[in-house]
Structure 1
Amino acid sequence: MKKTIFILVVATVLSSYGQKQKNVKYPQTKKGETVDLYFDTKVNDPYRWLEDDKSEETAAWVKAENEVTYDYLSKIPFRNELKDRLEKLWNYEKIGSPSTEGNFSYFFKNNGLQNQSVLYRKDASGKEELFLDPNTFSKDGTTSLGEMDFSKDGSILAYSISEGGSDWRKVIIMDALSKKVVEDTLVDVKFSGLSWKGNEGFFYSSYDKPKGSQLSAKTDQHKLYFHKLGTSQKEDKVIFGADQKRRYVGGSVTDDDNYLVITASVATYGNELYVKDLTNPNSPLVVIVDNFNSDSNVIENDGTKLYIETDWNAPNKRIVTVDVSNPKPENWKDFIPETENVLTPSTCGGFFFANYMKDAVSVVQQYDYSGKLVRNIQLPGLGTATGFSGKKTDKTVYYSFANYITPGTIYALEPQSGKSVIYEKPKVDFKSEEYVSKQVFYTSKDGTKIPMMITHKKGLKLDGKNPTILYAYGGFNISLTPSFSIANAVWLENGGIYAVANLRGGGEYGKKWHDAGTKMQKQNVFDDFIAAAEYLISEKYTSSSFLAIRGGSNGGLLVGATMTQRPDLMKVALPAVGVLDMLRYHTFTSGAGWAYDYGTSQDSKEMFEYIKKYSPVHNVKKGTQYPATMVTTGDHDDRVVPAHSFKFAAELQEKQSGSNPTLIRIDVKAGHGAGKSIAATIQENADVQAFTLYNMGFTALPKTVILSSPEMK
């Protein structure tokens, strides 16, 4: 017989951290004398000058910090090896679900390492052609495709582009048949959908251009406009928001072109709801919901019957029906009642699909327009199912299924029979069968049970020495459900554990779960995260020497608060595009709209004191040994402005005790994350993983060497 011997060469771990890079020399960050008065308390803000994103001084600081960071990263011996593996694993064809517009079927495709996915289309004969290539928008891949919507007959396309990752967009209008731009570009559009009224024109939303910096100045009066095809943008009519000051306004037209639905809100939770009859030019704007006490939206209509998704009197959401002639909540009737699981509904192919979260895992049911349950959709396993949306006339319903070890596979569902077949299965060089992903429940500080998904190689030895990334978000009613990531796959290949905790503040268990992590209960979120880390350590998945915590945006706040409250708990901290100056977050761009979750330092003395107690920028203590930290942000982030990260990094560099590095990695011509090029995404993930493993003491990556022996009898 021929015997093959597999020798596993494990990563070398330093017996002493003395071999690591020592005494990182940080740029000199000057300190100003700005002092703010909050009620009767004075608060120093020595790095206020870093808020000025237009100053040459700030630009020089960014350049100097990046030089230090990239010099440090360049000396990590396995950084390029990680990048090469990420590129290799990322290099597979990715095809999206198709949608029918006019006489064509449109779909996105990426041949593997294209910075932006390309929009293709097929005609009735199946002939395929390239329709729109965002990779041609800029030479460096930093301009991306945003929102897009076709006119009702599919003959005209309106699409937005983002330059350098900014939330400010330009809107381009194209003849879909000739693929030629048909009129001037719309500019200064932000936080906007695009929704056509027939072929006449489309609705979009934006703010007035702010005074001062476009990337950081406050924007808080959103307006809904109508752009009539063939006219200039300056002639666009304000439909909503001129008189009523709202921070977020959106407008969408029903599929039958009969109604305009408007949502308006002052925060990221709770909205007013309006409807206007588009068949009558003189029809009034009818109020459906006149307060901000619920999230409600029209998801479908059947003639004059409206179907509304709402959490009013239903924290886990329900669908109700009402006639447009008298649509106030007192007239609503249950269509799909609330259940114990959180509902996310959609429509397609003449049916409703109720996508429920059961402990952060998808369960999907199909209903007809009378409210009758047609069937339970058989999913391929435990994970996340998305899609199930499209036109009422669609003959096929597409959905995608994924989990932490299963790449997203697209399925085609025949809605009459319920039969699902694989439409597109990606060919990823990752052996899912060698890994396991399981859900556990752990107990937080106050006794609340919190779910967490833990993913790793099968047969993992629980000896407390496994490199582990603990990830979470914990805010804004956002749910973290199982998904596949190439970056995480590489981490798993190298023997890492990836754990995701479903903290309070998210939406996994409905409005009550969300509210339990807001305002004066925000500390619950940090306690939940700390308890997740303590569970992983107590069960010997890892130890403090091999634990990294990671999160972005609100999750960046989570990491910043946790590392300042419990710096002993982890070896590495990775706050990305974080909200880190909690006393001033509401003064930048659309930050004031986040007050439902956070409250503000101006609300009351009690609220100020509560926020100050956990605000990361204000809780870095001199003489404390903080974990090895790499703050990441983008210089064009106009959602969570980079000043948050700048000030936090400056505080850490000034006050850190010991030799753990505190770096900041600032992407240039990049924003909050959406539309980032594949090349930039790969490099960032390589840097994050290299920094993490290196500061856990690893000097090499695990490798499997295969040796063949001579034939043996």
Structure 2
Amino acid sequence: MRVLVPRLLAASLLFAFGAHAATSPPPPTPKRMVSETLAGQPVNDPYRWLENSAAADVKQWIDAQNAYTEAAIGAMPLGKTLSNRIRELSITSTTRSSPTLAGGTLFYFENTPPQPQPVLVAKAWPDGKTRTLVDLNQGDGSTAITAYWPSPSGRYLAYGTAEGGSELTTIHILDTNTGKPLGDVLPFAGGGTTPQALAWDADEKGVTYARFDAPAAGKPLREFDAYLAHHVIGQPAAKDKVVFGKGYSHVAEYILKEDAGGKATALLANEGDGGPAEVYLREGNGSFRRVLGREADVRAASWVGDRLYVVTFAGAPRGKVVAIGADGKATDVLAEGKGAIQHVTALGDGFLVVRSAGPDWWADQYDARAGFVRRVPLPATGIAIGGVAAEKGQGKALITYAGWTQPTHWAEYDGATGAVKTIFEVKPAADYSKVRVTRVEGTSKDGTKIPVTVIAMDGTSPNGKRPTILYSYGGFGIPVTPGFIGANLAWLERGGVLAYANIRGGNEFGEAWHEQGQKTRKQNVFDDFYAASQALIDTKWTDTKHLGILGGSNGGLLMGAALTQHPEQYRAVVGAVGIYDVPRHETAFANGPYNVSEYGSVSDPVLAKAMLAYSPLHNVKKGAKYPAVLLTTGANDPRVAPWQSRKFAAALQDASSSGQPVLLLTRMNAGHGIGAPFSQRVGNQALAMTFFATELGLGE
């Protein structure tokens, strides 16, 4: 899950195009050996000193690497042309996202490129006049809205903000009738290590929200031990009372779900990322009562009428739906069916279920007795369904979707008639009608079939050497979905090919698909990706001299494992904000313990041994011929430590004998990519595409 722009590139197009290519060796990196034993194996770490970002020598090293990388990128011949085209393609018509209905009012984000940040707007649904409620586009655009929560009647709105990519959220509250803030400011309200969460009281006089303890004077914030606090509107945050979570978990994460009237609230409580949730209902006295444990393997929930519909994967790899009544008792509603359940939303007196099977997504409608009504008539393939906005008792829903060649569409679905009416669509900046989408299939090491979507312009046929970029993610149950290719058209227009692999670790085929890419089975993810890349070669789309790979965050780990396990397979690699020293991710960075549910813990010898077997940093081999590599990171990243990229870059620069460049770019006013302004998003795309164009031989 993302965005990239360096400190010295204040805008996306300010590459130093007159600079010389980096034909000289990279800046030197001293080795200062630290040795230890892990899982009975000796582990040497010559680059641990690079973890201290406050040290003067580390700052100097970062500046030298940035200068080296900028010179190399600036000398690449297609850089200016691609940058201009990417920016041109990125300036679409106004976009909309994240719709929510409350009290007859529709709230959503609206952005008009090249506006740095989306604004938060509201309108009476369906035909009211749009009103801007929050606009943070003053200054450099580095302040972002992280999330928002309308009150049950729509009269008030709580929203979070964060600075410079840090994701650390402060919640504000405003009156939607006047647009004026109420003066309530709730700091340390999650973000980064733990997500934000908020639910309104039914009488709209207070909110329950997730937060960290305020740091002691002169001490840094500890992003652990999040809990739920209750805030009374008009009172200072210092008087907020803890209502749940003190002592719950060191790595607690919360999702709050309130019904349409705010009269009932459910809590999904997790220990870290990627694992199942416990389910609680809020009692009349404000306390929370557990109704389902982790053995139910709950991954999502939504209120349907006065019951909480929960998606559970216990004994149902693709998911089933159970209902929790006010008495806390669970009743089966919908058995496991074809396709993995992604989410459930109320519609009239029934509900909608959004499902997926690999890259295919669809929505099914059910009545109040869970009887199948119909498949929602959306495009049958090539799209992913995003949010579904609906209000209690209403027979219509707002469904958002997008696809490879379709930018965002909003469709009004009438559950009574089955009619679908497009009420909003983004107008792209170019013609995508000549883009063709096909599929191939790879076979992983254990025989598992891996779908790969291939995208090229009409007339671009397989010739065995097409410059091709393969993307995937493979973790935390996050699916690779059909998304609008947008400015990536610049790659296709010049004869390039894009490919997207549905590898294990995501949830495209259900929770079992996710679990087969976790912990001791993480190697399946890397085997799947290799199989996807080999499928592109076997079907003659490309060869090893023209194949590039791209991934970020957990997908950055995928990039590191791919290039160290099969350096001969790829010509160029771009890894963004990635994890490369897997054992140290847990022990030396705040967010690492939150990822134990996905990767396992180094305290377990079996898991530690598995980590060392695939950890990219620990598998760099002196003298190996590594492909061209571009690593990017953000200095304010709260999810993956920037030193991960520093250490891996240093190791590759020292080890590689191929003569291909190993480049590292650190952005000093950026984080993991969440909430990045328009210029950073465009700059990231231009940077990666320029690098791939040069290394893979994209046509002029």
Q: Could you tell me the TM-score, scaled by structure 1's length?
A: 0.89
What is the DSSP-based 3-state SS (H/G/I as helix, E as strand, rest coil) of the residue aligned with 2:652?
Answer: helix
* Structure 1 residue 242 corresponds to structure 2 residue 242: no
Relative to structure 1, is the Cα distance of residues 453 and 103 closer, same or farther in structure 2, using a 3 angstrom cutoff? closer
Correspondence list, 1:230-309, <5 A: 230-247=234-251, 248-268=253-273, 269-277=275-283, 280-281=284-285, 285-291=288-294, 294-303=297-306, 305-309=307-311
Deviates more, 1:259-268 or 1:523-532: 259-268
Contact kept, 8 Å, 2:304 with 2:345, in 1: the verdict is: no
Q: C-alpha displacement at 1:297, in angstroms?
A: 4.6
Relative to structure 1, is the Cα distance of residues 603 and 290 closer, same or farther in structure 2, using a 3 angstrom cutoff? same
* Structure 1 residue 390 corresponds to structure 2 residue 390: yes
Contact kept, 8 Å, 1:346 with 1:389, in 2: the verdict is: no
Partner of 2:331: 333
Deviations 1:199-257 (A, max 9, x none): 11112112335799999x87432211111111111111111111322522333332232
Q: Could you tell me the TM-score, scaled by structure 2's length?
A: 0.91
Deviations 1:167-201 (A, max 9, x none): 21111122222222222422122121222113111
Partner of 1:30: 30
* Structure 1 residue 575 corresponds to structure 2 residue 592: no
Contact kept, 8 Å, 1:631 with 1:664, in 2: the verdict is: yes
Partner of 2:67: 67
How many Å separate the matches in 1 of 2:166 and 2:648? 22
Relative to structure 1, is the Cα distance of residues 336 and 213 closer, same or farther in structure 2, using a 3 angstrom cutoff? farther
What is the DSSP-based 3-state SS (H/G/I as helix, E as strand, rest coil) of the residue aligned with 1:275?
Answer: strand
What is the DSSP-based 3-state SS (H/G/I as helix, E as strand, rest coil) of the residue aligned with 1:80?
Answer: helix
Partner of 1:159: 159
Correspondence list, 1:184-583, <5 A: 184-190=184-190, 191-198=195-202, 199-208=204-213, 219-247=223-251, 248-268=253-273, 269-277=275-283, 280-281=284-285, 285-291=288-294, 294-303=297-306, 305-327=307-329, 332-350=330-348, 351-382=350-381, 383-394=383-394, 396-583=396-583
Partner of 1:711: none
How many Å separate the matches in 1 of 2:492 and 2:679? 21
Amino acid paired to 2:378 = L
Relative to structure 1, is the Cα distance of residues 399 and 301 closer, same or farther in structure 2, using a 3 angstrom cutoff? closer
Partner of 2:134: 132
Partner of 2:77: 77
Q: C-alpha displacement at 1:377, in angstroms?
A: 0.8
What is the DSSP-based 3-state SS (H/G/I as helix, E as strand, rest coil) of the residue aligned with 1:386?
Answer: strand
* Structure 1 residue 593 corresponds to structure 2 residue 594: yes
How many Å separate the matches in 1 of 2:638 and 2:178? 35
Correspondence list, 1:67-146, <5 A: 67-96=67-96, 99-102=100-103, 104-122=105-123, 126-136=128-138, 139-146=139-146
How many Å separate the matches in 2 of 1:55 and 1:466? 45
How many Å separate the matches in 2 of 1:685 and 1:619? 29
Structure 1 spans left out of the alignment, 5+ residues: 1-19, 703-713
How many Å separate the matches in 2 of 1:548 and 1:212? 48
Partner of 1:17: none
Contact kept, 8 Å, 1:223 with 1:241, in 2: the verdict is: yes
What is the DSSP-based 3-state SS (H/G/I as helix, E as strand, rest coil) of the residue aligned with 1:399?
Answer: strand
Contact kept, 8 Å, 1:572 with 1:629, in 2: the verdict is: yes
Amino acid paired to 2:599 = Y
Contact kept, 8 Å, 1:95 with 1:107, in 2: the verdict is: no
Contact kept, 8 Å, 1:204 with 1:250, in 2: the verdict is: no
* Structure 1 residue 657 corresponds to structure 2 residue 657: yes
What is the DSSP-based 3-state SS (H/G/I as helix, E as strand, rest coil) of the residue aligned with 2:653?
Answer: helix
What is the DSSP-based 3-state SS (H/G/I as helix, E as strand, rest coil) of the residue aligned with 2:525?
Answer: helix
Relative to structure 1, is the Cα distance of residues 609 and 347 closer, same or farther in structure 2, using a 3 angstrom cutoff? closer
What is the DSSP-based 3-state SS (H/G/I as helix, E as strand, rest coil) of the residue aligned with 1:57?
Answer: helix
Q: C-alpha displacement at 1:572, in angstroms?
A: 0.2
Q: C-alpha displacement at 1:449, in angstroms?
A: 1.0
Structure 2 spans left out of the alignment, 5+ residues: 1-19
Deviations 1:520-548 (A, max 9, x none): 11111111111111111122100111100
Q: C-alpha displacement at 1:575, in angstroms?
A: 1.1
Relative to structure 1, is the Cα distance of residues 694 and 428 closer, same or farther in structure 2, using a 3 angstrom cutoff? same
How many Å separate the matches in 2 of 1:595 and 1:61? 31
Cα RMSD after superposing both structures: 2.3
Deviations 1:604-643 (A, max 9, x none): 1x32222111101111111111110000111111111111
Relative to structure 1, is the Cα distance of residues 229 and 56 closer, same or farther in structure 2, using a 3 angstrom cutoff? farther
Contact kept, 8 Å, 1:25 with 1:68, in 2: the verdict is: no
Partner of 2:11: none
How many Å separate the matches in 2 of 1:67 and 1:370? 64
Q: C-alpha displacement at 1:578, in angstroms?
A: 0.8
How many Å separate the matches in 2 of 1:60 and 1:240? 45
Deviates more, 1:333-342 or 1:243-252: 243-252
Correspondence list, 1:38-57, <5 A: 38-57=38-57
Q: C-alpha displacement at 1:296, in angstroms?
A: 4.7
What is the DSSP-based 3-state SS (H/G/I as helix, E as strand, rest coil) of the residue aligned with 1:185?
Answer: strand
* Structure 1 residue 680 corresponds to structure 2 residue 686: no
State how many pairs are aligned: 670
Q: C-alpha displacement at 1:149, in angstroms?
A: 0.9
How many Å separate the matches in 1 of 2:336 and 2:517? 22
Q: C-alpha displacement at 1:645, in angstroms?
A: 0.8
Relative to structure 1, is the Cα distance of residues 288 and 122 closer, same or farther in structure 2, using a 3 angstrom cutoff? closer
Contact kept, 8 Å, 1:315 with 1:512, in 2: the verdict is: yes
Q: C-alpha displacement at 1:393, in angstroms?
A: 4.3
How many Å separate the matches in 1 of 2:30 and 2:57? 10
How many Å separate the matches in 2 of 1:119 and 1:253? 21
Q: C-alpha displacement at 1:660, in angstroms?
A: 0.4
Q: C-alpha displacement at 1:518, in angstroms?
A: 1.4
Contact kept, 8 Å, 2:301 with 2:343, in 1: the verdict is: no
Q: C-alpha displacement at 1:644, in angstroms?
A: 0.9
